[in-house]
Structure 1
Amino acid sequence: MNPSATGWIDKFGSEVKDHLEYYPDFRSLYGDLKKIGFVYGINIRIPRFIRTEHTLSEDEKAKINLLTALYFTHRLERKEQNFKAFLEEIFQFYQSLKINQISFLSSLFVGKKTSSQLEKLIDSRVYLEDNVISKTFNSTITNSLLFIDVLLFKKYLDQPHADSYAYAQLLEYIAINITYHALNSKEKNRSDEKLAQLFAASLTFIDSNSEHFDGSYREKLLENHSVWENSYFLDVACLTVWEDHSLEYKESEFIFGIGKDLGFDHVEITRALDEIAYFFEKNGETIPFLKDQNLALQFYESMSKVVNKLILRNSKRLQKELSESRELVALISKSAVKDLSPEERKKMQNQLIDIFKSIPSLAIFILPGGAVLLPIFIKLIPKLLPSAFDDNRVKK
């Protein structure tokens, strides 16, 4: 599966059908999403049942984790195994949040297929910026409040006629206030500022201006009775105070005060702190917003990652295509002396078609500006490239 190429949601649907009972309840889903970092907004890895051929970037992990969370939330709430039914309902959900608009130009490349449109929507939810230049210069481009989408979808499935947009504003308001007041409960450092900027940049439904930062959020916490929303708010608070690997008395007082307002006892709050401490101990060196780099170094590192990813992935694909071509030569040689079996004839036919497909793609690539034109042609004609280049091809 390749979340940066078209067809990855259909590929996900073909793989998840063999793992429908992977998460027996929402508690197990939430626990695993926290271990892999999705709840914290820091995507370290993806669920173990999902197979990928390449090393994934953080935004690609975020895409897979978001889709996994949304799918299994739907599966647990609806007891539904039909992946197409999930796609239709998640599309309606994003429509209720007023973030399902796809431009006319985008629709030319995406088409009318629900899964293709959902790929575009998930892209818009995962990336903080829609500007290639800003993506290149920023080491962190992934939305850190994506788990709010999951909480909103769970609420939507329970109460489809409720005002989803107003509820989204409420959850974001509480989350950003918890972050703001948690940071004010400690002595700030540079990492704190980066974390605050990251959360502020991730807001979708409210503006990150000062008028939202007041004490009334504590009243709204007392009114909230959803255990999983409260668990998320507690984890956000723990993330905010623990990123510097210490917990001072004042911070502890704030955390245990928030935890009490959310309805948790001392043991549950301590467990949440222990889990975030373990997460940072295990993954601290790979968390992007903790890296203190100047602009030039960020640019170099971002470009290096892109180039390395392209070289690594395409070298594997070329190697695969060439190995298939060697097999084709063997089959042609064999056909000169004896008849091939139906399976061998079918294999030879498919490999010949693959080679013929590679000719127009190579011709486009060597044209002036071909490196820019080729991705556009691939969007318009997804099967232009050989099968070795299509990570999301679903075997019939």
Structure 2
Amino acid sequence: MNPSASGWIEKYGSVVQKHQNAFPDIESLYSTLKASGFVYGLNTGIPEFIHPEHVLSEDENAKINLLNALYFTYRFVTEKKDFSDFMEEVFKFYRVLKINRAGFFGKLLAGNKTSAKLEKLMASRIYIEDNIFSKTFNSLITNSLLFIDVLLFKQYLIENVDLKVKAEEIEYLAINITYHALSSKEKKRKDNKLSQLLESSLTYIRSADHAFDGSYRDRLLSNKDIWENRYLLDMACLTVWEDHSLDYTESEFIFGIGKDLGFQHELIAKSIADVTDFFKLNVSKIPYLKEQNLAFQFYDSMGKIVKKLILRNSKRLHKELSQSAELVTLLTKSTVRDLSSEEKKKVQNQLLDIFKSIPSLAIFILPGGAILLPIFIKLVPKLLPSAFDENRIDMDEEQSD
């Protein structure tokens, strides 16, 4: 499964048919979504029953986790399994919610089938920025509040509520809790990247329009949805653990919030333990915790973009490469030794000819595009053999157990 290529949603639908019992109840689903980082907005993993052909990026993990969370929420609430019906329901849900993205639904309603529309829709929900250059220089590109979509979808399926008002309320409580969690820290970080990420992920409110005072606690007391409150508690725990420590004042704040949300001491302590375990296992994978200079961050981000482009165009690349025996030979040599200056020049010239025939790889032809060629040379031999059609649905996948 390749979430950066078309057809990935239908591929997920064919795979999940064999794993309808992957999560026996909503508690097990929520625990898995926490372990994968989705609840925390830091996607480091995906469900165990999904086996991608290549290592996924954070935004690709986020796409799979969002779709998986929405599908099993649909399963638990409606007790239905039909994936086509699920896709239609999700699309209706987002239309009711009226996500305000410039020209978004105008582009979606262009005669595509529902799965293709959903792929575009989910891409619009995943990314904070919407152009390739801002993504290149900013590693924090994924929406960190995506779990709110799942909470809203649950409300949409259960009862007739004003989704816009509900969305604003959850975001208001989430951003207030994280703000006051930061304020509870005895040693405050001057540059808190987590709070910046959360604020940039807001969809329904603007933090500048709301006062960060104690009045949010009264609104917490009136919120009775257990899963919304579980999420808010976990966001508070995430915020105080962001610097890998928990002092007395922070602990007092967390247990006070947990009490306001209606939870017993044991569950609050478990929320702290869960986020502690998450950081211990994944600290090296969390993008906003990586201290990188601009040059390294640029190279790393561009590497991810080049990898997606290669995967997306793997069939056409294979066809073009198959017509150039010399180029394939040189690419193979590059995996075991450094190429000479003459060989590198040959590779560059022949690759540029190939890129001219594949429009989405035009980034290589732009001024300075040659600096990306080492990334390309490194990735091609490893990715092409297994990347021809990751979203193809085998006949035996269309039948559930």
Scaled by the length of structure 2, the TM-score of the pair is 0.79
1:394 aligns with 2:381: no
3-state DSSP of counterpart to 1:214:
coil
| Alignment match, 1:148 | 148
| Residues 221-240 of structure 1 aligned to structure 2 (within 5 Å) | 221-240=220-239
Size of the alignment, in residue pairs?
A: 345
Deviation at 1:196, TM superposition (A): 0.6
Please state how far the C-alpha of 1:107 moved relative to its aligned partner.
4.6
The 8 Å contact of residues 70 and 150 in structure 1, kept in 2 or not, is answered as yes
Root mean square deviation, CA, Å: 3.0
Please tell me whether Structure 1 or Structure 2 has the larger radius of gyration of its CA atoms: 1
Q: What is residue 335 of structure 1 aligned with on the other side?
A: none
Residue 139 in 1 paired to residue 139 in 2?
yes
1:389 alignment partner, SS class: coil
Q: Distance in 1 between matches of 2:119 and 2:211?
A: 32
Q: Which residue of 1 aligns with 2:357?
A: 370
State TM-score, norm by structure 1: 0.80
Measured against aligned partners, the alpha-carbon deviations of 1:269-304 in whole angstroms (never above 9, x if no partner) come to: 111111111111111111111112232221121112
3-state SS of 1:84 partner: helix
Aligned counterparts, 1:242-321, within 5 A:
242-308=241-307
State the shift of 1:212 in Å: 3.6
Q: What secondary structure is seen at the aligned counterpart in 1 of 2:214?
A: coil
Contact 1:387 1:393 in 2 (8 A): no
Q: CA separation of 1:202/1:55 partners in 2, compared to 1, >3 Å: closer, same or farther?
A: same
> CA distance change for structure 1 residues 322 and 366 in 2, over 3 Å: closer, same or farther?
closer
Name the CA distance, whole Å, in 1 between partners of 2:386 and 2:31.
37
Instruction: Decide whether the 8 Å contact of 1:91 with 1:100 is kept in 2.
Output: no
8 Å Cα contact 1:93/1:156 also seen in 2: yes
Distance 1:70 1:320 in 2: 37
Deviation at residue 233 of structure 1 after TM alignment: 0.5
The 1:256–1:85 alpha-carbon spacing in structure 2 relative to 1, beyond 3 Å, is: same
CA apart distance, 1:96? 1.3
Q: Which of structures 1 and 2 has the larger relative contact order (alpha carbons within 8 angstroms, sep 6+)?
A: 2
Distance 1:131 1:395, change over 3 A: same
**C-alpha distance in 2 between matches for 1:128 and 1:78:** 31
Work out the CA distance in 1 between the residues paired with 2:179 and 2:154: 26
Change (3 A) 1:127 1:313: closer
Residue 314 of structure 2 contacts residue 388 of structure 2 at CA under 8 Å; is this kept in 1?
no
Distance 2:317 2:92 in 1: 40
Structure 1 distance, partners of 2:319, 2:15, is 22
Looking at structure 1, the residues matched to 164 and 315 of structure 2 have their Cα atoms a distance apart, in angstroms, of 44
Specify the alignment match of 2:327 in structure 1.
none
For residue 372 of structure 2, what is the aligned residue in structure 1? none
Aligned equivalents of 2:94 and 2:105: distance in 1? Answer: 18
Q: Which deviates more from structure 2 when the two are superposed, residues 59-68 or residues 111-120?
A: 111-120
State the alpha-carbon separation in 1 of the partners of residues 275 and 318 from structure 2.
42
CA deviation string 1:123-177 (max 9, x = no partner): 0110001011000101120110000000111111111x21001100000000000
**Partner AA of 2:265 in structure 1:** H
For the 8 Å contact 2:320–2:354, the answer to whether it is kept is no
Amino acid at match of 1:23: F
Contact 2:355 2:361 in 1 (8 A): no
Q: Partner of 1:194 in structure 2?
A: 193
Consecutive unaligned residues in structure 1, runs of 5 or more: 324-364, 376-385
Task: Judge conservation of contact 2:108–2:121 (CA < 8 Å) in 1.
Answer: no
Query: Residues 268 and 21 from structure 1, CA distance in 2 versus in 1: closer, same or farther, beyond 3 angstroms?
Result: same
| Separation of aligned partners in 1, 2:222 and 2:79 | 29
Identity %: 60
Q: Name 1:168's counterpart in structure 2.
A: 167
